Amino acid sequence: MPSVLPRRIAVISVHTSPLAQPGIGDAGGMNVYVWQTAVRLARRGVEVEIFTRATSSSDEPVVRAAPGVLVRHVQAGPFEGLDKTDLPAQLCGFSAGVLGAEAAHASGYYDIVHSHYWLSGQVGWLAANRWGVPLVHTAHTLAAVKNASLATGDTEEPRLRIVGEQQVVDVADRLVANTGTEAAELVSMYHADPSIIDVVAPGADLDCFTPGDAAAARADLGLDADETVVAFVGRIQPLKAPDVLLRAAAPLIDAARAEGRRPLRLLVVGGPSGTGREHPTALADLAVELGVADRVTFLPPQPAERLAQVYRAADVVGVPSYSESFGLVAVEAQACGTPVLAADVGGLGVAVADGLTGVLVDGHRISDWGNALEKMLADPQRLDAMGAAARRHAERFSWDRAADGLLASYSAAIEAKRSDRHARTGRLRWRRRSRQEAWL
């Protein structure tokens, strides 16, 4: 147990609420992360207050979402009609709401600020500085990493975001990375001080995501029991690359149909997000173009209990993303005993044990994905072995373990703040010197 524990944490999640359904709009793995860690921190006796932007007039200003967990909906700009890219202009109003909540209490009400994503980091920077408490920051995604591996048709992250991320990296007391890969990217791309980076892997709800009866799950979802099912779960946008999985599966669907073999179905669960909202029917249109629309089923984003049924119903879950800081879908699927076919990018190399619980594909060539998928589906015994190993592998990634890691990071930040008020000045000098050397 860490030597110093916070009594109360201010968690900043500007652009998306932990109460939102993942897979809709900008809601995704970060929502799950914030919610699951908040609940488990609260179970350890730490009060958690989550600040997020109100997106509906029906949002209650304060919601007691779970024992020890408050969600504060801060009014900043119009409720609807704002994209994530519009939110930098609303940070002043959001910051005022956060500071106003603290002002209603005695000094020292919050012991630490934990910000998620760079927009929240900007607000957390101000709040932590005003309250004289440490700032812990989790990036979740990094613009420089995304821009280095853009999907076809996607747009680069703006310079504004890169500058904003750099500012937060420079001022944070601790940085929490999902994997060692992300930690290395923070150092190499943002010149972060390695000594303040903590690697804390996200997890899965191992009580919700469990192995189960595949036939019953298919019946529950309205799928035929005698089909082979490949599933994609996530936001439908170029970054997540569902088109890669569809293009890879299409020839296998045609071959099964022509040869009278067990039919193959692609199950897509999610909604348009990001640049995918510009053409919300693009994936369905592609299925028509490829002549496999009758073998592709689209479902809207599902709550966790139903999502577990999706994983159980699938023979393989595909995660073809161009960039993933970790890959919660991969871990959730494995927790349900389902092998994963994933791109070998970012944290997916940690989330999936290549050759043991799934297969990692280098790059996004359709032929490579098609060959890998065909080989997996052609060997049922190997799939069964992968499924059994998948659950054991997923048990390494629990939200309880993630909460323990966060508490250790918080403790280190609080102790450093108390013992050396000048430590940040030294780090800033180190970072400036590091960047100057990199620019020479």
- Dihedral angle of Cα 86, 91, 97, 102, to the nearest 10 degrees: 140
Kindly state the helix (H) or strand (E) to which residue 306 belongs, with its residue range.
Answer: helix 304-313
Nearest-10 crossing angle of helices 380-394, 328-335: 110
CA dist., res. 270 & res. 23, Å (int):
5
Q: Which residues are annotated as a binding site?
A: 15, 21-22, 26-31, 84, 117, 141, 161, 235, 240, 302, 311-312, 314, 324, 332, 338
Task: Compute how many other C-beta atoms are within 10 angstroms of the C-beta atom of residue 80.
Answer: 8
CA nearest to 242, candidates 252, 230, 254: 230
Binding residues for Mg(2+) are 311-312, 314, 338
Percent of residues in the chain assigned helix, strand, coil, to nearest 5: 50, 15, 35
Q: How many beta carbons lie within 10 A of that of residue 73, not counting itself?
A: 22
Nearest to 97 by CA among 32, 10, 167: 10
Q: Give the annotated binding-site residues for 1D-myo-inositol 3-phosphate.
A: 15, 26-31, 84, 117, 141, 161
Beta bridge partners of 233: 269
- Structure token pair of residue 358: 């799934």
CA atoms within 13 A on the CB side of 222: 5
Nearest residue to 174 (alpha-carbon basis) of 430, 423, 433:
423
CB 320 within 8 A of CB 231: no
List the binding residues for UDP-N-acetyl-alpha-D-glucosamine.
21-22, 29, 235, 240, 302, 324, 332
